[in-house]
Amino acid sequence: MANITTFADKGADLELVGIQKRFPGFTAIENLDLTIPAGSFFALLGPSGCGKTTTLRLVAGLEDPTEGRILLGGKDVTDLKPFKRPVNTVFQSYALFPHMTILENVAFGLRRRKIGDPVAKAQDALRLVELDHVQDRKPAQLSGGQQQRVALARAVVNRPALLLLDEPLGALDLKLRRQMQQELKAIQQEVGLTFLHVTHDQEEAMTMADTVAVMNKGRIEQMGAPEELYELPKTVFVANFLGQSNLFSVKVAGSTDQVIHTDLGGSRISVPRSRSERDAGEITVGVRPEKLRLHRQQPAGHDASINVLGPGVITDVSFIGVSTQYTVESSVYGSVQVFAQNVEAGPAAALGDTVWLSWLVEHTFGLLDDRLDTGALTTEFSTRAIATQAALAE
Ligand code: ATP
């Protein structure tokens, strides 16, 4: 990325305090408290309808909270009109002005607010997204990804304290989306602004954000660094929404200071105490599919650092290039997913094979939920209201 210092202004802390949003007959946000530190890249991740966009619209001033306050840089902005807030939004649809050049598109807001040097500032912003060489073209002469970068330059040039990104890459094809994810992250680090990114794409959230908040039904289920959420989910919802998990309902059979031992149909499954939310009764434990190993024979004399399950039968084998995904079925523990990296020549196991499973105890996690009820997870795209763009314009 180009080295631009013009945009070095730090973003502001965003604080949502006791936010509730009720629509007639429906509560979209329930008592949300959230602090997003200045300069961070924060992702709100969740399925369609969980309240992400509503949260973003509250911050932008497009909706009024039923209860609660919104603070930016310590200043209460709850009652400010959208255009009075130091906030810019980048949407999935770029909405560039088709008749203007790229440079004019980026300079437009500055001119309107009578900010000095609009052209030089717009050129700086275009350099930042590496599009200064196309400044004289019209939007139709750019690719989708380039147009999205122009939309980003147009938002960043205003130096908002906070940049809101509403599924900004949703319209791009997969390859371009991956490339733009890296570029967006680099730009955010470059300008040091606070980014609040809303998405239902877990890979996108994990790739870009420093902190991810997983939202479900108007509440934040869990918040943390991407690795932390992935390696140590605390609820069934997070374990399933962020990647895939094998979850088992087990009964606690004993414990030490370090480890909780559970029983799963006669097999001992242990979970480190520090990785379990619960330590008594019926609990739910889990392990990620890539942590599992397949064995053609029962592993003999394994030590206490390993959990072993078996036997089960391979009922599905999907070769997906870097790995092969196996489904193992057992009448005792149900259906288990195993992702095996293709490092050996030939498949690790074939359809119909009887296999045993093992994984390190330290990869097991214990959830808050006392029963397995995943609910329906929908991840369809939402349509973004173009009207929102109009409301944001001065
Ligand atoms: P998506 O990814 O599909 O956009 P989302 O997580 O952004 O989903 P929101 O748009 O925030 O979800 O909507 C949260 C809930 O609030 C949904 O059930 C939605 O139907 C409801 N909702 C949103 N706006 C209104 C409204 N103006 N009136 C009534 N209900 C609304």
d(CA 240, CA 235): 9
Compute the distance from residue 198 Cα to the ligand 1 centre, in Å.
13
The DSSP result for 325-375, as a single string, is: EEEEEETTTEEEEEEEES-SSS-S--TT-EEEEEEEGGG-EE-S-SS----
The two tokens of residue 196 are: 């609040």
Domain co-membership, 60 together with 194:
yes
Which among 105, 20, 109, 34 is positioned nearest to 66, based on CA atoms?
20
The two tokens of residue 260 are: 């909780």
Q: What are phi and psi of 373, to 5 degrees?
A: -145, 90
Mutate to test the pocket of ligand 1, among 27, 32, 50, 379 (most ligand atoms within 8 A of CB): 50
d(CA 269, CA 259): 10
With beta carbons less than 8 A apart as the criterion, state whether 367 and 236 touch: yes
Domain co-membership, 102 together with 247:
no
With beta carbons less than 8 A apart as the criterion, state whether 45 and 220 touch: no
* pTM of the entire predicted model: 0.82
Mutate to test the pocket of ligand 1, among 29, 45, 54 (most ligand atoms within 8 A of CB): 54
Domain co-membership, 162 together with 29:
yes
CATH code assigned at 165: 3.40.50.300
C-alpha distance from residue 392 to each of 88, 104, 261 (Å): 8, 19, 55
Question: Residue 9: inside a domain, yes or no?
Answer: no
Compute the distance from residue 218 Cα to the ligand 1 centre, in Å.
10
Question: Residue 387: inside a domain, yes or no?
Answer: yes
With beta carbons less than 8 A apart as the criterion, state whether 214 and 234 touch: no
Compute the distance from residue 18 Cα to the ligand 1 centre, in Å.
19
d(CA 91, CA 166): 5
d(CA 332, CA 328): 11
Question: Residue 2: inside a domain, yes or no?
Answer: no
What is the widest separation between alpha-carbon atoms in the chain? 76
For residue 10, the model assigns a pLDDT of 58
Nearest residue (by CA) to ligand 1, atom 3, is 48
Compute the distance from residue 28 Cα to the ligand 1 centre, in Å.
7
Domain co-membership, 53 together with 168:
yes
Which among 269, 271, 244 is positioned nearest to 258, based on CA atoms?
271
Other beta carbons less than 10 A from residue 279's beta carbon: 13
Nearest residue (by CA) to ligand 1, atom 14, is 51
Domain co-membership, 91 together with 221:
yes
With beta carbons less than 8 A apart as the criterion, state whether 217 and 50 touch: yes
Measured at the alpha carbon of residue 289, what is the angle toward residues 173 and 302, in degrees to the nearest 5?
160
Nearest residue (by CA) to ligand 1, atom 12, is 49
Helix axes 118-128, 144-156, angle to 10 degrees: 130
For residue 370, the model assigns a pLDDT of 64
Domain co-membership, 167 together with 226:
yes
Residue 52 Cβ contacting ligand 1 at under 6 Å: yes
SS3 386: helix
C-alpha distance from residue 141 to each of 31, 123, 179, 223 (Å): 46, 18, 20, 41
For residue 373, the model assigns a pLDDT of 53
Question: Residue 6: inside a domain, yes or no?
Answer: no
Mutate to test the pocket of ligand 1, among 45, 52, 63 (most ligand atoms within 8 A of CB): 52
d(CA 34, CA 31): 10
SS3 74: coil
Domain co-membership, 27 together with 67:
yes
Closest ligand 1 atom, residue 25 Cα: 29
Which among 6, 72, 37 is positioned nearest to 209, based on CA atoms?
37
Closest ligand 1 atom, residue 50 Cα: 6
For residue 308, the model assigns a pLDDT of 95
CATH code assigned at 328: 2.40.50.140
Domain of residue 244, residue span: 236-367
Domain co-membership, 221 together with 276:
no
Domain co-membership, 118 together with 169:
yes
For the chain, the domain total comes to: 2
SS3 147: helix
The two tokens of residue 47 are: 């399925």
Question: Residue 4: inside a domain, yes or no?
Answer: no
With beta carbons less than 8 A apart as the criterion, state whether 178 and 209 touch: no
Residue 53 Cβ contacting ligand 1 at under 6 Å: yes
Domain co-membership, 96 together with 143:
yes
Q: Which of the 8 DSSP states describes residue 298?
A: P
pLDDT digits (tens, 9 = 90+) for 360-385: 999 999 999 866 654 333 222 222 22
Domain co-membership, 204 together with 56:
yes
d(CA 49, CA 377): 10
Question: Residue 210: inside a domain, yes or no?
Answer: yes
Compute the distance from residue 55 Cα to the ligand 1 centre, in Å.
10
At residue 43, what is the residue type? A
Question: Residue 332: inside a domain, yes or no?
Answer: yes
Domain co-membership, 323 together with 385:
no
Residue 243 Cβ contacting ligand 1 at under 6 Å: no
Residue 21 Cβ contacting ligand 1 at under 6 Å: no
Question: Residue 220: inside a domain, yes or no?
Answer: yes
Which among 279, 277, 280, 291 is positioned nearest to 235, based on CA atoms?
277
The two tokens of residue 234 are: 């605390």
Nearest residue (by CA) to ligand 1, atom 21, is 28
pLDDT tens for each residue of the chain, 394 residues long: 433 333 335 567 899 999 999 999 899 999 899 999 999 999 999 998 899 999 999 999 999 999 999 999 999 999 999 988 989 888 777 779 999 999 999 999 899 888 899 999 999 989 888 899 999 999 999 988 888 889 888 988 888 889 999 888 877 778 878 887 888 888 888 888 899 999 989 988 998 999 999 999 888 999 999 999 999 999 999 999 999 999 999 999 999 999 999 999 999 999 999 999 999 999 999 999 999 999 999 988 778 899 999 899 999 999 988 899 999 999 999 999 999 988 877 677 899 999 999 999 999 999 998 666 543 332 222 222 223 333 333 3
